[in-house]
Chain A
Amino acid sequence: MLELRLVQATLFKNVVEALGDLFSTAHFNSSRTGLELQAKDNSRVTLIMLLLRAEAFDHYLCDRGLSMGLNLAGMAKAFCCTNNDDIITIKAEEDWSDTVTFTFESPEDGDEISYFHFDFMVINGVPLEIPEYPESEYQAIVRMPSAKFMPICNKLSSFGDRDTVVIISVDKESVDFLSRGKTGTLTIFCRETQTVDKPKEPTLIEMKEKVSLMFDLRYMNSSKASTLSDQVTISLSSKLPAVFEYKITEMSCIRYYMLPRNE
């Protein structure tokens, strides 16, 4: 059976809301080591993975791997009226009844308990095996505060429209974000910051070779994910899917894998 408990619902709620905006369905895969969520877009450009390690839960029991396809958009809608400080329990029974129960319980005296039962659904093409590529496989890695990356995405998207593309170019000590709109182009230039000046919020660039790649801004502009994490790590390579990683805690992260578009 599967039984997981988080004392504060905030993290799980925020993640479901952040992803429910972009993806209608997701695949939840539980194992002894943790809970993994995968969602993909139908055009095969973006794959999102959330990893919550078993240690991130206050209680984690999973004696057999379980795969659940769920309606993410429906879950996001259902959870919007629950409280952030509720205790959340996720439970699926041994009889494989094809439903999972999410219980939200008020922390004071448990005087109100909501049971959400979600039916499993068939989702083609997920879950996928996602290897951890070593950093050396990427041509460039940029680390910057989410509080800096989020306004950059907002500026780029306000310049264009829903189908705007962004070109990210990394040079030795700088990263450029360029978006093309109907009226022209916008370029945002970010220099590597000295860690001495702003030790808590550096922009760091590790570059093996210059790289310039084009992405759909729609999926890059994951503002709700940015609120879950202080830092975003952008790993770029012309040979691998780019990774936008938001580390939530030491034990959990959201990764956006994005295929660069052809020029």
Chain B
Amino acid sequence: GTKQGSIMSFFKKA
């Protein structure tokens, strides 16, 4: 797991 988060968390922080 190199992934840092999910796409939804990326957009939710907008």
Which A residues fall within an 8 A CB radius of B? Answer: 29, 40, 43-45, 47, 65, 67, 125-131, 241, 257, 259
Contacts and interface: CB of A to CB of B under 8 A. Distances in A.
A259 B14 contact: yes
B11 A44 contact: yes
Contacts of B3: 127-129
A128 B10 contact: yes
Interface of B is mostly: mixed
Nearest to A240: B8
Contact of B4 (A43, A44, A47, A126): A126
A44 B2 contact: no
Interface of B: 2-11, 13-14
A44 B7 CA distance: 10
A129 B6 CA distance: 5
Given A128-B3, A128-B4, 15 more contacts: A43-B14, A44-B10, A47-B7, A47-B10, A47-B11, A65-B2, A67-B2, A125-B5, A126-B4, A127-B4, A129-B5, A130-B7, A131-B6, A241-B11, A259-B11
A131 B7 contact: yes
A127 B2 contact: yes
Contacts of B13: 44
Most buried by B among A43, A45, A129, A241: A129
22 contacts: A40-B10, A43-B14, A44-B10, A44-B13, A44-B14, A47-B7, A47-B10, A47-B11, A65-B2, A125-B4, A125-B5, A127-B4, A128-B3, A128-B4, A128-B9, A128-B10, A129-B3, A129-B5, A131-B6, A131-B7, A241-B11, A257-B11
A257 B4 contact: no
A241 B8 CA distance: 8
